[in-house]
């Protein structure tokens, strides 16, 4: 294995992919910065462009990025008085937004009984 004068590993072209993959996984699928930082500590001739290409196409990272957010359903508000509340339905379309629109909202005013 070839090394430069600082002891960094000089890779042949065929070794680059595996080296980037190992470093990227070593950072726990870290982003471009974390992966590049680790790679620059070990290897002599891997460019940030190569790392960028790898991290952008990493299947695991893409799945992670597209994961649906959880915990967006809030606790309903209870009410003790008539005529004091309305009902709002939210249809969550965050996974299939229409441009900037991510929810459909419907509001219904609850009619109370008249006390006489
Ligand atoms: Zn990844």
Total of domains in the chain: 1
* Residue 73, Cβ density class (10 Å: 0-12 exposed, 13-18 middle, ≥19 buried): exposed
pTM for this prediction: 0.56
Q: Band of the pLDDT at 69, cuts 50, 70, 90? A: low
Measure 32 CA to ligand 1 centroid, in angstroms: 10
What are the tens digits of pLDDT across the range 79-97? 777 666 677 788 888 888 8
Q: Give residue 16's domain range.
A: 2-65
> Around Cβ 112, how many Cβ atoms within 10 Å?
11
Measure 62 CA to ligand 1 centroid, in angstroms: 7
35 in a structural domain:
yes
54 in a structural domain:
yes
57 in a structural domain:
yes
103 in a structural domain:
no
106 in a structural domain:
no
Measure 92 CA to ligand 1 centroid, in angstroms: 28
Question: How far apart are alpha carbons 52 and 31 in whole angstroms?
Answer: 9
Q: Band of the pLDDT at 68, cuts 50, 70, 90? A: low
**What is the predicted pLDDT for the residue at 102?**
86
Query: What spatial distance separates the first Cα and last Cα of the chain, rounded to whole Å?
Result: 93
Average pLDDT over the chain, rounded to an integer:
85
Measure 52 CA to ligand 1 centroid, in angstroms: 11
108 in a structural domain:
no
Which tokens is 4 given?
């430069």
51 in a structural domain:
yes
47 in a structural domain:
yes
Please give the residue that has the higher pLDDT: either 100 or 8. Answer: 8
């Amino acid at each position: 294995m070839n090394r430069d004068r600082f002891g960094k590993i000089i890779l042949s072209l065929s070794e680059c992919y595996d080296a980037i993959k190992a470093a990227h996984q070593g950072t726990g699928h870290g982003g471009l910065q974390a992966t590049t930082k680790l790679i620059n500590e070990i290897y002599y001739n891997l460019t940030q462009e190569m790392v960028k290409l790898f991290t952008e196409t990493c299947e695991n990272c893409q799945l992670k990025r597209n994961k649906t957010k959880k915990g967006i359903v809030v606790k309903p508000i209870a009410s003790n008085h008539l005529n004091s509340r309305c009902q709002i339905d939210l249809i969550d379309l965050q996974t299939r937004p229409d441009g900037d629109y991510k929810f459909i909202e419907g509001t219904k005013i609850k009619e109370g009984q008249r006390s006489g």
